[in-house]
Amino acid sequence: MVCASFAAAATSFATPGDSPVTWAVTPSNVEGPDGRSWVELELDPGASVDEHLAVRNLSDRDVTFALTAADGYFTPTGRFNMLPGDKQSVAAGIWISMDKTVTVAAGGTAVVPFTVTVPDNATPGDHAAGIAASIYSQGGSDGTQLGVESRVGFRVMTRVKGEVRPALSMKATASYVTSWNPLESGSADLTVDLENTGNVRLSVYPSTMVNDARWPAAGTEEARTLELLPGDRRTVSIHVPHVWPMGIMTIPLTVSQGVIAPDGATQSLDPVQESVTLWAIPWPQLAVLVALLLLLAGLFRGRTRRKKELVRLVEEAREAGRREAGNPLISGRYPGSGKSVRTQ
């Protein structure tokens, strides 16, 4: 089993029975590290350029590092990585040629040249690769056979000259999360699928405006946008709190975008906009409304029953009065005499 990792900064790696190895790999000139974090190139098809990398051995012993290059990509969390050693590169990773190993003295730095050669038939646009220095250990301290490769490197971005075609595809869905407290609002969750369908790198920033507040994608910040290579797909989530259920709702979604140039500058493009529809049924409020209606209906039926009972009692009293007035034995009078008699 091989476990590989890729770091863009100095890292430490402990091999069984040896002291830890700490090293760093950065772009450089012929004299040493030149302050760049990665290499950005712009070349014609068929052109080549010579570059350099510096391997700094920060440990207390001499170390021989393996040097590799491979196709590059961004992970779902937005970190740059390169294909592991057991995966075959088919793109920009095979454009890079250099020595396969370098031995660096303890505390020393070695500058290694490498060459990037663009094929004659390379398509215009951005192509990503990674370059790394690695060490490999076989076997663990407990006797297990576990191959571990640890890599430290940086990205090599090559823009092949030609027609630049930026394009971004977006699909979004939304769902409503109900708060069962009728006096509290719920929330909306948006899932946004983004795909760079063009041929150049894009910086994108998904967000929505709800209740006069801007809500970005989870994990993004104002100063940090997502970066998509050509062909990259990324799914992001936007959580919008304080959304009152209003039945059928429409949430506006905006993805700001720009083309990342080889010099690192970003050229803004028109944003991609879409309206996302969702059902936000006010179940708690409807339950309260139904309860109130049932209460009012009960009160109304009770009032109606009492009114009917009162009418019935009045009618019975009237009927009793009429019977009493029409019966001489009950009234105590003989018809036509005008005299009353006392009965015993």
Tell me the pLDDT of the chain (344 aa) as tens digits.
Answer: 344 557 666 666 655 556 789 999 999 999 999 999 999 999 999 999 999 999 999 999 999 999 999 999 998 888 899 998 889 999 999 999 999 999 999 999 999 999 999 999 999 999 999 999 999 876 555 555 556 788 999 999 999 999 999 999 999 999 999 988 888 889 999 999 999 999 999 999 999 988 888 888 876 544 368 999 999 999 999 999 999 898 899 999 999 999 999 988 999 999 999 999 999 888 777 777 888 888 888 888 888 888 888 888 888 888 888 887 776 655 555 555 555 555 44
DSSP state of 124: S
Q: Are residues 91 and 211 in the same domain?
A: no
Q: Are residues 148 and 33 in the same domain?
A: yes
Are the CB atoms for 16 and 141 separated by under 8 Å? Answer: yes
Q: How many domains does the chain have?
A: 3
Q: Are residues 198 and 72 in the same domain?
A: no
User: In angstroms, rounded to a whole number, what is the distance separating the alpha carbons of residues 61 and 19?
Assistant: 8
Q: Are residues 264 and 301 in the same domain?
A: no
**Of 138, 160, 182, which closes a domain?**
160
Find the helix or strand (DSSP H, E) in which 192 lies: strand 186-196
Tokens, residue 85: 């050693």
Q: Is there a domain that residue 340 lies in?
A: no
Q: Are residues 13 and 125 in the same domain?
A: yes
Q: Is there a domain that residue 222 lies in?
A: yes
Q: Are residues 119 and 25 in the same domain?
A: yes
Tokens, residue 344: 């015993």
- Contacts of residue 6, Cβ cutoff 8 Å, sequence gap at least 6: 81, 82, 130, 132, 151, 152, 153
- Collect contacts of 142-150 with beta carbons under 8 A, ≥24 apart: 146/1, 146/3, 147/1, 147/2, 147/3, 148/2, 148/3, 148/13, 149/2, 149/3, 149/4, 149/5, 149/84, 149/85, 150/4, 150/5, 150/7, 150/11, 150/13
Q: Is there a domain that residue 277 lies in?
A: yes
Q: Is there a domain that residue 16 lies in?
A: yes
Q: Are residues 260 and 326 in the same domain?
A: no
Tell me which residue range forms the domain holding 316: 285-331
Q: Are residues 267 and 291 in the same domain?
A: no
Domain with 82 in it: what CATH number? 2.60.40.10
User: In angstroms, rounded to a whole number, what is the distance separating the alpha carbons of residues 313 and 306?
Assistant: 10
In this structure, the number of other CB atoms found within 10 A of the CB of residue 198 comes to: 20
Q: Is there a domain that residue 148 lies in?
A: yes
User: In angstroms, rounded to a whole number, what is the distance separating the alpha carbons of residues 220 and 237?
Assistant: 10
User: In angstroms, rounded to a whole number, what is the distance separating the alpha carbons of residues 219 and 207?
Assistant: 12
Q: Are residues 185 and 123 in the same domain?
A: no
Q: How far is CA 74 from CA 77, 78, 204, 248, 323, in A?
A: 8, 5, 14, 37, 101
Q: Are residues 155 and 10 in the same domain?
A: yes
Q: Are residues 131 and 194 in the same domain?
A: no
Q: Is there a domain that residue 253 lies in?
A: yes
User: In angstroms, rounded to a whole number, what is the distance separating the alpha carbons of residues 225 and 230?
Assistant: 16
Q: Are residues 7 and 144 in the same domain?
A: yes
**Of 133, 160, 187, which closes a domain?**
160
**Of 256, 281, 306, which closes a domain?**
281
